[in-house]
Structure 1
Amino acid sequence: MTALAEIVMPKLGLTMTEGLLAEWRVQPGARVAAGDILFVVETEKIATDIEASGDGEIVELLVAAGSTVPVGMPVARWTGAAAGAPEAPRAAEPAQPAAAPLPAASGGRILATPLARRLARERGVDLTGVSGSGPRGRIKAKDVPEARAQVPASAAVPTAGEFIALDRVRAASARRLTQAKQEIPHFYVGAAAEISRLLALRDEWRDIPDAPRMTVTHAVLAAIGRALHAMPELNRVWEGEGWRRLSSPDVGLAVDTPRGLFAPVLHDAGRLSLGTVASRANGLVERARAGRLSPDELRGGSITLSNVGMHGARFLVPIVNPGQSMILGLGAMESLFRPDAEGAPALRREITLVLAADHRVLDGAAAAAFLARIVAFLEKPLALLIAPAEGSI
């Protein structure tokens, strides 16, 4: 007889003690392969698809969907390898604050995902009469918009146009950005960087055998990290009624994917060589677009880079992400003539950088100095080739 192994509730973060098993994606008797989604876990911060660590057959589900389960508790048994001190899940969604449960008219508990409860509150929908499409009739986010038709005709409901419900990622992004603009006192500083030397370095880089693909975006990432490393007193975020200084020069990178906008974090970017930054950033972008980011890759850092230059925009005035204190908008390169030191026209290749910052954490002088340090690294990029800690390319 084949020995059975347990699948347990995984620990998705350092502080996680329990998680909501929001939805089963498999049933007893199902054969699964490595990478197949077994169930969805929702915590206060993220919603994560938990994947099979190998091949096997699901024998028994030990926990019903909608249950809150302590970390390490078995949730299923299967014929595969012991899964659940499983590997870190390979797909994660951005943070979604948990919603308070809605009371049921009969006194029983309504089975609904936290996002569905939030949407119901925002749209004034009573979940009591909503039919859910999830396991055991669990109400999912996509079910809530359909319930708008149940609003009495006397209510002010728009009749023209088409209502489009946001998916989980875009809904979370919309909430977080709204929160950011309402709670964070933004201010902005801008500068232009002349990148002729950087472009020449990039062109030579392409001739290096087996070198990772390197772009201007990678150089800006490296420059931000190096500026944080050089000015550690600015690597801080707002927390409660004060600052928290971060120990690692981590930098986020906004990535547009078919599932929405993600900002994976390149950890320790300020202590890496440009080649390592390029290689690791390429991996982050690939995993973001494939939906295989780990929870650890979606947290940390005081700053994010958002590049709209690839879309032809000259500049971007961005919104600081909640939990961070800065974000740098990067525009497209422009070729233009400006007077040199002697007044003669000189061709310059420039990119426009706009730094948005939290005024609770930085003042204008500090932000301007930080941006100037980034520009200096971009205009003299050879320093980025060598990691400051280990002194190697």
Structure 2
Amino acid sequence: MNELNDILMPKLGLTMTEGTISEWSIAPGDRVSPGDLLFVVETDKVATEITAEAEGELREVVVPVGETVPVGTVVGRWTGPGQGVPQDEEVQDESPAEASADPQLNTPVAKAVDETRVIATPLARRLAREHGLELVGLTGSGPRGRIKAEDVRAAAQAGASNTGAVQPQPDTAPTDSGQSIPASAMAQAMARRMVEAKQQVPHFYLAAEAEVTELLDLRGQLNAQEGYDKLTLNDMVLVAVVRALEVTPEHNRIFLDNQIVQFQEVDVGMAVSTDRGLLAPVIKDLAGCNVDEIAGRAHSLQQQVVEGSVRREDMQGGAITVSNAGMFNVSYMTPIINPPQSAILGVGSIREVFRPDDNGQPELRREMGLVLAADHRLHDGAGALVFLNRIIDALQQPHQLLRSRALLRRG
């Protein structure tokens, strides 16, 4: 008897809870060799190719293209190695609520009729527990009736815990004024992640300005030197954040699974705009690096993101991201923290303004607007102010950007 084994949705990162099948490269009946592409998984951060580890034949596609399922869900079955599921024998799901969306995959059929299979997102399940609601009977508005967080919220508001009365409009319903355009799997994942981030992370914001006349002068001097790559203002901001993290390690931590995780290395994310949306790769191990090293790594990583060749591990880690909107003539921006990170720095454009000098006379200044968003579970206002002021000091006294970590600590 041929033995079929499960192909599971892999866990591709510390915080990954679900993934979307964006492509099956093989069909049932196709044979593969080690290294051959099986399927592509999209998360809110990146698309990842999943390859075969051994020879085998795909027998069944359980999760079709476009469907989002939790980590560990059976997405297909093949004759290659894996968790053995003998063909034509009963398949017992330890967690039926988190398994495949197709109830016919459970055998025998007679038993499946008595079992209740509820397909819901992880956030919907958590909200249902918080509101004391039963998912059984709720009508989901997602693909194949999947219950989403907004369905649970609507049920909670209506006081419906065991009825099917809540029926939100389908995602693809046309409007009177236009045509609905299906969102890509990555766009859907990013949208879910941003909603969850805003709802689950208690943000607070601090806004300030940095006087950057000396910074612009220093950047001009450095860029005038032969044999070096040109530095951008974003490079200088990244270096300022690195210098601040080097001397305030209490801000190089995150809140994850009800625990505080302290990072030893200094990693900083940067927002990069692509045709697939806004992505935030993380530049790794920057402690003690000079301006040119940090800028070089940033430029290289940005190019990989734009080309779509960035590695999965470069989309993870770090406690803070820099999001720069200055090129769009935006004075300030209040960004959303990218979980599980604990902070994000929004950078605005440089404005020329008159401020009174020490003698009360108007003085022309060039100021950059900064907004720091921080996770209140980890940081309080006083500590975040210290961290933001460290960044501002480095920008306003830009020669600090060229100093080593040891010199900064002595200062």
Fold conserved (TM > 0.5)?
A: yes
Contact 1:237 1:361 in 2 (8 A): yes
Q: CA deviation at 1:271?
A: 2.6
Residue from 125, 137, 141 that aligns with 1:123: 141
Instruction: After TM superposition, list the pairs within 5 Å mapping 1:24-63 onto structure 2.
Output: 24-25=24-25, 39-41=39-41, 47-49=47-49
Distance 1:99 1:196, change over 3 A: farther
Match of 2:102 in 1: 103
Give the letter aligned to residue 144 of structure 2: D
Distance 1:41 1:318, change over 3 A: closer
Structure 2 Cα separation of the partners of residues 271 and 315 of structure 1: 30
Structure 2 Cα separation of the partners of residues 146 and 364 of structure 1: 42
Structure 1 Cα separation of the partners of residues 308 and 76 of structure 2: 25
Give the letter aligned to residue 241 of structure 2: I
Query: The residue matched to 1:333 in structure 2 has which SS?
Result: strand
Is the counterpart of residue 253 in structure 1 residue 308 in structure 2? no
RMSD after superposition:
4.3
Contact 1:188 1:354 in 2 (8 A): yes
Contact 2:44 2:193 in 1 (8 A): no
Contact 2:26 2:58 in 1 (8 A): no
Is the counterpart of residue 351 in structure 1 residue 350 in structure 2? no
Contact 2:172 2:180 in 1 (8 A): no
Is the counterpart of residue 363 in structure 1 residue 380 in structure 2? yes
Q: Tell me the TM-score normalised to structure 2 length.
A: 0.66
Q: Tell me the TM-score normalised to structure 1 length.
A: 0.69
Structure 1 stretches of 5 or more lacking a match? 1-8, 53-58, 76-97, 129-144, 150-156
Match of 2:201 in 1: 184
Q: After superposition, what is the alpha-carbon deviation per residue over 1:313-349, rounded to whole angstroms, capped at 9, x for unaligned? A: 1110111111011111000001121111121221111
Is the counterpart of residue 307 in structure 1 residue 324 in structure 2? yes
Is the counterpart of residue 325 in structure 1 residue 342 in structure 2? yes
Moved more, 165-174 or 277-286: 165-174
Distance 1:333 1:184, change over 3 A: same
Match of 2:253 in 1: 236
Structure 2 Cα separation of the partners of residues 337 and 352 of structure 1: 15
Match of 2:165 in 1: none
* Matched-pair identity in %: 40
Query: The residue matched to 1:214 in structure 2 has which SS?
Result: coil
Structure 2 stretches of 5 or more lacking a match? 1-8, 63-73, 83-96, 110-119, 125-138, 147-168
Match of 1:84 in 2: none
Residue from 179, 190, 198 that aligns with 1:173: 190
Give the letter aligned to residue 101 of structure 2: L
Contact 1:192 1:350 in 2 (8 A): yes
Give the letter aligned to residue 374 of structure 1: I
Instruction: After TM superposition, list the pairs within 5 Å mapping 1:2-151 onto structure 2.
Output: 23-25=23-25, 39-41=39-41, 47-49=47-49, 65-66=61-62, 100-104=99-103, 123-126=141-144
Q: CA deviation at 1:159?
A: 4.8
Residue from 157, 163, 181 that aligns with 1:164: 181
Structure 2 Cα separation of the partners of residues 65 and 23 of structure 1: 11
